[in-house]
Structure 1
Amino acid sequence: MDAAAVTEWCIEEDVPVDKGLVAEVRGETWSEGEVLSILKALSSNQKVWAASSRVDNENPLTYVLCEWKYGVPDCLKGPSVETLDGTKLFLLLPEQESATPSSSSATPSTSSSTPAPVGASGQTVKGPIKAPLKNFNPELCAVLEEIVAQCKKDSPDYLTTGYRKLRIFSGRHPVPSSEDGFEEWMDHAVQALEEWVIPEKSKKQRIMESLRGPALEAICNLKHNKENCTAQDYLDVLQNVFGRTEDISELRCQLEHCFQRKGEKLSEFVSRLDKILHRMLVKKGLDSKQMDKTHFQQVIRGAQPMDPIVFKLQTQKGDGVLKYPDLVRII
């Protein structure tokens, strides 16, 4: 995949080219979560999410398109990065926009065949001929001035800048190829809702524009039965209608019985654990402040007892708890 293909992919997924990057894994197939966990660890102070992914099973190759909220960090603008276990991620940046043309080239030149305007004395007049203002109606001028002043008022940033749109979700089964499944769509929606610094009305509008079919009908029914709905209410009703039926007690049981399988990589075990913890957050069964502690404790408890990385984790933590970026970086 070259820079032009990366740029085209960014455009398809509504990812700004100055904030997008494709991570390529060669020789094996990885999930979005595995690639994203490494990139998050390398840019722990910035928000990043996976916009899309593609897999070439023949070679094999994995491509994950990622977007950073404040632009790709400098540490990821090189050709590749290497993890502690020797796995190399190749980094592909999109083509940057070409520089804007200079004023000399952008300004059209006057054709030599066009005669210049002539003044009353017969001399050539330079520049455009201006109509005398006295010929305009004063009331019309006042109206035009008011319109221009209104147009010059600064618009809010969220109206003038682009944003990452949610993929389409309809709730139909089987899931159409052009849509996301519910779990994937909800992951993106929860993350986007935290990042959109806009009025509540605009948040609801952005969620609604991504819904179709039964999913849209569920929101319409909610609006008929509840006044002053919030964007979080939209996500809650979609979770109740299309989400998993497990309750908090079942999720806690899944968490406590989530162990590393024989032959499973520790990173794959952590990825499975992430999904359970995320569902607990969505259902408000886990406080986000306790996320790191719960995550770390279950990794230590559920990993294979003789795994050398677990010994390293226990050594690194000391008397405290490793934060998620540090945990993923070591793994």
Structure 2
Amino acid sequence: MEQQLYDRFQTDLQNWCKGEDLDVNHAMLVVGVGEDDTIAKIEEELQTVRCWGRVRVRGKTFDVETNSLVALCECREVLSTLSVPPEVRPLNGSLPWKIVTTNPAHATSEEFSEKLKKFMLAEGKRIEDLQYFCHPPSPQDNTVESLVRIMGEFMSQSRKAPSENHSYRRLRPFSGTTPTPLGEEQLEPWIEQATLLIEESDCSEKEKRRRVMEGLKGPALEIVRALRFTNPETKAEEYLDALNRAFGSAESGEDLYFSFRLVQQKSGEKLSDFVRRLEPLLARVVQKGGLLPKDMDRVRVEQLLRGAVGADLLLLQLRLKERRNSPPTFLDLLSEIRA
């Protein structure tokens, strides 16, 4: 990609992140995406690159100059300037996708060689094994194009195979039946466990869908099956959203936020216990859209000041009123109270 075009995409990335309220250090643009590539397909392809962790597509747009789609992606990890590759080659053989970050500084050939040696050593292979991994070498294979292709196939297979078969803790069954049958989980704890399974797993989107479905039965399973029949590419997170809509509380985010602001410290309840009791209620408000995640720390402190009873001296010591503009996180607040 020409430097002038790259600079323009960098500016687009910064502006797009401001509009989506994203941290630019956790964001990148993927240029050259095909019109037939679904969001699930893009995320699955990018998931094979470990340096940026879990990836979510936050939006797509068409770029006239490159005559291709451009995807804005949010990454779990901070994008290190020395580890982000300049492009990703999809496994279906289509043209490579160009990667744009705010501060590109791709590794030198010596750094790449050193990283390659460490990777091969960790996989129990030698550099020479690359030539024979896919097929016997030929004179036509002594090109950069061939090396990139072989490396892509090697890393994809060596990384995907373990993650697909890696042992994991299966979800307890959930059917949505009321009252909850013996041995089954209620909705909220089941959703929390399923969300954790999805977010922490490095496996493919197809495997995530399978793991969610194996924890369902009865009416809950029928809902997910209907959703899957309508759109086979539905993501695992959308399964959870559908179950929440079908079996979750009918209260809106605004209703939950209003209820949260009425919570008071109980007689004899420790202040640390009160803060811990507030947290799942606050999380439900955010989950239902009644509050933005970035406002959680502020609202938590405000409700602690409003709902605490007989703890004025401790609150004064913590100087929470003076720290409303820069409130502590949940764990920091809990540690200060316990100390």
TM-score normalized with structure 2 length: 0.49
Q: Which has the higher contact order (CA 8 A, sep 6+)?
A: 1
The structure with the greater share of residues assigned to helix is 2
